[in-house]
């Protein structure tokens, strides 16, 4: 159950399997972020997202006013990430 590479387990080394598993378990979310006007803003938002425990990576798009976030759903939620952005009282985040 779970990881698709179990189907071809005999063709994969153990290390490949271990490396593959976290990606299968990650969840991707898109958050709309308003209030960003320059590169400093997008960096600040990136930091606000990445300081949330469970966030694996993020990409903030200043022009599109969006942040794509990859996170561990067992460690955090989209709402927790949004709340952390909003706690800055500078940027306004909502789920897309
Ligand atoms: Cu700015």
The domains located in the chain, with CATH, are 26-95 (3.30.70.100)
Q: Quick check: helix, strand or coil at residue 59? A: strand
**Rounded to a whole number, what is the largest CA-CA distance in the chain?**
52
* CB 34 within 8 Å of CB 90: no
Distance 45 CA to ligand 1 centre (A): 10
Q: What are phi and psi of 12, to 5 degrees?
A: -110, 145
Q: Ligand 1 (ion): which residues have CB within 5 A?
A: 37-38, 40-41
Distance of CA 79 to the CA centre of its chain: 12
Per-residue pLDDT tens digits for 19-61 = 444 556 899 999 999 999 999 999 999 999 999 999 999 999 9
Distance 65 CA to ligand 1 centre (A): 12
Lowest mean pLDDT among 14-28, 35-49, 63-77, 80-94: 14-28
Locate 12 and state its tokens: 């994969």
Locate 31 and state its tokens: 């958050």
């Amino acid at each position: 159950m779970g990881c698709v590479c179990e189907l071809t387990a005999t063709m994969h080394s153990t290390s490949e399997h271990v490396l593959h598993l976290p990606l299968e378990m990650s969840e991707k979310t898109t958050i709309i972020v308003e209030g960003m006007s320059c590169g400093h803003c997008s960096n600040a938002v990136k930091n606000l997202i990445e300081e949330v425990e469970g966030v694996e990576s993020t990409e903030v798009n200043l022009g599109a006013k969006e942040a794509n976030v990859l996170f561990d759903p067992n460690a955090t939620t989209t709402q927790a990430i949004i709340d952390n952005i909003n706690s800055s009282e500078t940027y306004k985040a909502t789920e897309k």
